[in-house]
Amino acid sequence: MKIDLLPVVPKPSVLLLPLAGMGLFVVLYVLAALNYPGGSWIVTDQEGFNFWNNYLCDLLDRTAINGELNPARFFARGSLGVLCVSLVLLWYYLPGLFLNKSINLIVMWLAGIMALLITMSLTSGTHDITVRIAGIFGVIAFVSCFVELYKAKYFSLVILGILCLMIFLVNYYIYETGTFIRSLPVLQKVTFSCFILWFAFLDITYYKYLKLKHDKIKVSHK
């Protein structure tokens, strides 16, 4: 069955943009943390951003938890926007990594883009509902992606991806139940770091695949 909905395969250089975006995200979030006035849900009068007590989302709010105006929000919102746009770009072209087109591939493609677009609304004041809806689409996208990666024999990416998903589910369980809630700020950062690494490895794998394919075409035309 021919599926015209999926995008054309990009040039290898396009895949460098998501990597640059992920790097810029890290830089901007560090700047946001350095500019955060203070306060956390554990210690409301603490000074600055605390790795052990603050959530990453604390940096997005207009007002810091200690009541001061939060200048860190400009860096944090910029970093979230850069990350989501970068990952949307990667996910938009991701079907080109797989030779066999299928309904599952369309599900993966649409669910991933929806999850990332919804995540952009984290700054709108609807944090909880945004996390839940984006999480549902995200799980669908990841599971369907693992199926495609497994069929294409990218086993390392499957294993790392499943590990990321398991950590995410633990993170979500704590978030919803309050069990071991004091560990959640740190676990959230671990979860985020694991996913960034997975996306980076996925991007690099796709870049190498396209580069090899592009080089073979150049050789065949000589």
Quickly list DSSP for the chain: ----SSPPPPPGGGGHHHHHHHHHHHHHHHHHHHH--B--SS-TT-BS--TTT--GGGGGSSB-TTSSB-THHHHHHHHHHHHHHHHHHHHHHGGGG-SS--HHHHHHHHHHHHHHHHHGGGGGT-HHHHHHHHHHHHHHHHHHHHHHHHHTT-HHHHHHHHHHHHHHHHHHHHHHH-TTGGGHHHHHHHHHHHHHHHHHHHHHHHHHHHHHHHHHHHHHT-
Tell me which long-range contacts 169-173 makes (C-beta under 8 A, separation of at least 24).
172/135
pLDDT of residue 222: 59
Residue 184 has pLDDT above 80, yes or no: yes
Residue 6 has pLDDT above 50, yes or no: yes
Residue 197 has pLDDT above 90, yes or no: yes
pLDDT of residue 3: 52
Residue written as token pair 């970068």: 86
pLDDT of residue 82: 97
Give me the mean pLDDT over the 193-205 stretch. Answer: 97
Q: Which residue has the higher pLDDT, 148 or 120?
A: 148
Give me the mean pLDDT over the 169-193 stretch. Answer: 94
Q: How many CB atoms lie within 10 A of CB 142?
A: 22
pLDDT band at 122 (very low <50, low <70, confident <90, very high): confident
pLDDT of residue 47: 95
Q: The pTM is what?
A: 0.93
Percentage, residues of the chain above pLDDT 70: 95
- Which of 74, 89, 116 lies closest to 7, judged by CA? 89
Residue range 105-115, pLDDT digits in tens: 999 999 999 99
pLDDT of residue 35: 97
| Cβ neighbourhood burial of 20 (10 Å; 0-12, 13-18, 19+) | exposed
pLDDT of residue 101: 85
